[in-house]
Amino acid sequence: MLVDSHCHLNFPEFRNNMPALRAAMQSEGVGHALCISVTLPDFPEVLAVAEAHDNFFASVGVHPDYEDEPEYSDEHLLALAAHPKVVAIGETGLDYFRLQGDLEWQRERFRRHIRVARQANKPLVIHTRNAAEDTLRIMREEHADEVGGVMHCFTESLQVAQAAIELGFYISFSGILTFKNALSIKEVAKAIPLDRILVETDSPYLAPVPYRGKTNQPAYVRYVAEELANLRGISYQEVEQATTANFFRLFKDARPCA
């Protein structure tokens, strides 16, 4: 069974559609999913989804694209992270594509998330877009290697992937891997060690081929795994076993259910 390592199931697309979404996971062989928080006001909903189902887990954090979110203390974030269903801190990171100008607040927020992750001893879910250099620099400066984590929806170079792996991080591929023009990402997926790879949907965004442009859902992570197997010339079962073992090794507080 696969794990969807990154999805947003509290979004309105899914809220009223949970039985169908879970049935599709079951029939496509997707056993677990990590539900990612993007703002603190939304966090109770994310947690509720994870609490309602044994095979869903949650993260807590504030996404770098949400500029107008009120800032919060380390203590507040740490308290939320203590919940047993919260297995990661994020998504956090830097995004110089969606937002421009003085983004010092974004870097400060990212640093705070790394500090809290270290205090909570939970791995990080990192989002980086057009900002790889600063992302890696801050990861080093704040000692993110102490807890590790995942570079989610990876779209950077092989060099960036290797630098993150050296810091103890995993690389997660989304539906973008199945896009015909994603040649450089396909090269990264072929080159890095299998024991550092995760798969995700980033639902409801970025549906893989053959559903490109439609609403994504966790069941579709199987198309990402299929593409990975094809690219690496290995079996689907090998990808399934490796990425699922990787997920539970990294997110050590996530308990797999039968």
In angstroms, give the least distance from the CB of 241 to Zn ion: 25
Judged by beta carbon, residue 99 or residue 194, the one nearer Zn ion is 99
In angstroms, give the least distance from the CB of 75 to Zn ion: 25
Listed in sequence order, the residues at least 6 apart from 117 whose beta carbon sits closer than 8 Å to its beta carbon are 81, 89, 123, 124, 144, 147, 149
Assess 186 for contact with Zn ion (CB under 5 A): no
Longest CA–CA span in the chain (Å) reads 48
In angstroms, give the least distance from the CB of 242 to Zn ion: 23
Judged by beta carbon, residue 216 or residue 246, the one nearer Zn ion is 216
Site string for Zn ion, 193-232 (x = CB under 5 A): ---------x------------------------------
- Mapping DSSP onto H, E and C, the string for the chain reads CEEEEEECCCCHHHHCCHHHHHHHHHHHCEEEEEECCCCCCCHHHHHHHHHHCCCEEEEECCCCCCCCCCCCCHHHHHHHHCCCCEEEEEEEEEECCCCCCCCHHHHHHHHHHHHHHHHHCCCEEEEEECCHHHHHHHHHHCCHHHCCEEECCCCCCHHHHHHHHHCCEEEEECHHHHCCCCHHHHHHHHHCCHHHEEECCCECCCCCCCCCCCCCCHHHHHHHHHHHHHHHCCCHHHHHHHHHHHHHHHCCCCCCCC
In angstroms, give the least distance from the CB of 54 to Zn ion: 22
Site string for Zn ion, 70-109 (x = CB under 5 A): ----------------------------------------
Judged by beta carbon, residue 7 or residue 120, the one nearer Zn ion is 7
Judged by beta carbon, residue 27 or residue 152, the one nearer Zn ion is 152
Residue from 85, 109, 112, 127 touching Zn ion (CB under 5 A): that is 127
Judged by beta carbon, residue 75 or residue 133, the one nearer Zn ion is 133
Residue numbers 21-40 binding Zn ion by CB under 5 A: 36
In angstroms, give the least distance from the CB of 223 to Zn ion: 18
Tokens of 124: 């990080």
Judged by beta carbon, residue 142 or residue 202, the one nearer Zn ion is 202
In angstroms, give the least distance from the CB of 152 to Zn ion: 6
In angstroms, give the least distance from the CB of 189 to Zn ion: 18
Judged by beta carbon, residue 204 or residue 236, the one nearer Zn ion is 204
CB–CB of 199/172 below 8 Å? yes
Residue least distant from Zn ion (Cβ): 127
Residues that bind Zn ion in the complex, under the rule CB under 5 A: 36, 127, 202
